[in-house]
């Protein structure tokens, strides 16, 4: 069943109506200030479109994991402040989720205004495993909209969660799919359907265990699977290499060996780095050297050395694969990009994707989370890629072939 869209809602008319929208405003903070406003910028177009059409917009969002308790560290105050900076529409922040403050501010809302509810995860019912508890919270959320309200699901970063503000609320009000979710599903469906080839998948990040299901699914679909980040050392160890003190998941060695076997026998080739930047410690100013993968313990620091980035030879090789691709999906940095000394591998992948987008008309998708933060920190712009996903976990689960409760709930309408 096809979900109703934001265009359907606008066509039905929203002036004077309370429209409840679930957005993804889970942004990183630095000393109480938003340090990466990418998700806010991505969420504002739909919010502003509704406000400009005369709706009384009530925004729900979460920040971090406050575990069902009110914690000032996870307040949405910095998010509300940044929203106010980025839009001309008045933005108010309620002091609670569905309590007295939210009720009073919602009742007093004017047409074309924005009310941001406090962190929905301050209420333990939001993430409860108990259907009745979540349903009760969803009833309170719906009650804020009065007699003619509607719900818009636009938080792709949360659609893989069966939470009150994502799943249950869609059964309480006329429900519509936001443009952000609509775009995400469209782009990701291209990656799992019949993508233009060559199709290159770049996976990084710390752990193989975080990517098992997506590897299992995409190894049957992609042409090349490039492996970087901390997870690469489990692959190297599975090939018989010593990896020093680098991050290693011993319990995943058999699984990784099976992936390597399937790569040898199948159509998707796993491509591993040939050189690594090995450091004496995990620090921005750590002494380091580039070593071939078959001699990672032969450097000055021996078995105590740890890998913090793919080497320059590997970065060039990865860039070459990406340059020839017509479809690229990337999730997970190649190294510790937060330290400039160990950001070159991640920078090379991002630059190659930018070139593939511009010169090869490739579909290039950055899979959210750390990858999205990395491209912005390294000076790249969102519009240099075909798409930057706002949901790392959600995009991975979609590519794993899993159903997403927040998407299914909207389509069920």
Task: List the single range of 16-20, 53-57, 371-375 with lowest mean pLDDT.
Answer: 371-375
Average pLDDT score, the chain:
94
- 283 or 397, higher pLDDT: 283
pLDDT at 53: 97
pLDDT tens-digit map of 257-269:
999 999 999 889 9
DSSP bridge pairs for 98: none
286-304 pLDDT tens trace: 999 999 999 999 988 899 9
Give the H/E segment covering residue 277.
Answer: strand 275-279
Q: How is residue 207 written in tokens?
A: 């752990």
Q: How far is CA 168 from CA 6, 172, 271, in A?
A: 19, 7, 42
> How far apart are alpha carbons 102 and 86 in whole angstroms?
23
Tokens 């406050």 appear where? 66
- Binding annotation for substrate: 24-26, 39, 62-65, 121, 161
CA distance 318 to 204: 12
Taking only the tens place, the pLDDT of each residue in 46-72 is: 999 999 999 999 999 999 999 999 999
The closest of 117, 166, 115, 168 to 138, measured between CA atoms, is 168
- Give CB contacts under 8 A, 24+ apart, made by 63-69: 63/25, 63/26, 63/27, 63/29, 63/119, 63/121, 64/26, 64/119, 64/121, 65/121, 66/119, 66/121, 66/122, 67/121, 67/124, 68/121, 68/122, 68/123, 68/124, 68/125, 68/126, 68/127, 69/122, 69/124
Residues with catalytic function: 39, 207, 369, 393
Q: Which two tokens stand for residue 361?
A: 């008309």
At 412, is the pLDDT very low, low, confident or very high (cuts 50, 70, 90)? Answer: low
pLDDT-based confidence at residue 306 (cuts at 50, 70, 90): very high
Same fold, 6-177 and 185-399: yes
| Structure confidence by residue, pLDDT tens digits, 90-99 | 899 999 999 9
Between 393 and 162, whose confidence is greater? 162
| Dihedral Cα 125, 18, 14, 55, nearest 10 deg | -110
Q: What are the binding residues?
A: 24-26, 39, 62-65, 121, 161, 211, 307, 338, 368-371
What is the CATH number assigned to the segment(s) 185-399?
A: 3.40.50.1260
Q: Are 160 and 392 in contact (CB under 8 A)?
A: no
329 within 8 A of 399, measured Cβ to Cβ: yes
Q: Give me the helix-helix angle, 312-323 and 344-359, nearest 10°.
A: 20
Mean pLDDT of all residues in 348-360: 96
Q: Predicted confidence band at 401 (pLDDT cuts at 50, 70, 90)?
A: confident
Residues in the chain: 413
DSSP one-letter code for 124: G
User: Domain 6-177, CATH 3.40.50.1260 — does that match?
Assistant: yes
The Cα–Cα gap between 406 and 177 comes to: 10
pLDDT tens per residue, range 227-260: 999 999 999 999 999 999 999 999 999 999 999 9
The domains of the chain are located at 6-177, 185-399
* Residue 209 confidence class, pLDDT cut points 50, 70, 90: confident
- State how far the Cα of 188 lies from the Cα of 67, in Å rounded to an integer: 30
So what's the pLDDT on residue 177? Answer: 95
DSSP state of 116: E
- CA–CA distance, 214 with 218 (Å, rounded to integer): 6
Binding residues for ATP: 211, 307, 338, 368-371
């Amino acid at each position: 069943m096809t979900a109703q869209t934001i265009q359907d809602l606008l066509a039905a008319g929203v002036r004077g109506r309370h429209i409840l929208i679930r957005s993804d405003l889970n942004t990183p903070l630095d000393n109480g200030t938003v340090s990466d406003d990418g998700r806010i910028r991505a969420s504002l177009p739909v919010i502003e479109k509704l406000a400009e059409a005369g709706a009384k917009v009530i925004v729900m969002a979460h920040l971090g994991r406050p575990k069902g308790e009110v914690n000032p560290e996870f307040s949405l105050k910095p998010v509300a402040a940044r929203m106010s900076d980025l839009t001309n529409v008045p933005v108010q922040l309620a002091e609670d989720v569905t309590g007295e403050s939210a009720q009073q501010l919602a009742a007093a809302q004017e047409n074309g205004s924005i009310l941001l509810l406090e962190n929905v995860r301050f209420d333990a019912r939001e993430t409860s495993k108990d259907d009745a508890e979540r349903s009760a919270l969803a009833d309170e959320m719906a009650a804020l909209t009065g007699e003619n309200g509607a719900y818009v699901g636009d938080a792709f970063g949360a659609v893989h969660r069966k939470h009150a503000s994502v799943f249950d609320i869609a059964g309480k009000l006329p429900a519509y799919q936001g443009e952000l979710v609509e775009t995400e599903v469209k782009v990701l469906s291209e990656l799992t359907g019949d993508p233009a080839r060559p199709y290159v998948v770049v996976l990084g990040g710390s752990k193989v265990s975080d990517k098992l299901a997506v590897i299992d699914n995409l190894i049957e679909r992609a042409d090349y699977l490039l492996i970087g980040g901390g997870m690469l050392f489990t692959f190297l160890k599975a090939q018989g290499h010593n990896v020093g003190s680098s991050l290693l998941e011993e319990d995943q060695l058999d699984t990784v060996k099976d992936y390597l076997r399937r790569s040898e026998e199948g159509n998707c080739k796993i491509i591993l780095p040939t050189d690594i930047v090995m450091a004496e410690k995990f620090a921005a100013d750590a002494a380091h050297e580039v070593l071939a993968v078959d001699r990672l313990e032969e450097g000055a620091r021996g078995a105590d050395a740890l890998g913090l980035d793919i080497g320059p030879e590997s970065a060039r090789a990865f860039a070459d694969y990406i340059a020839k691709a017509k479809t690229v999906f990337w999730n997970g940095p190649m190294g510790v990009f937060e330290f400039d000394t160990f950001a070159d591998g991640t920078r090379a992948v991002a630059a190659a994707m930018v070139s593939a987008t511009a010169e090869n008309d490739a579909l290039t998708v950055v899979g959210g989370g750390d990858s999205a933060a990395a491209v912005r920190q390294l000076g790249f712009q969102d519009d240099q890629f075909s798409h930057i996903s706002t949901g790392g976990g959600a995009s991975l689960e979609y590519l794993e072939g899993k159903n997403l409760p927040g998407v299914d709930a909207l389509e069920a309408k």
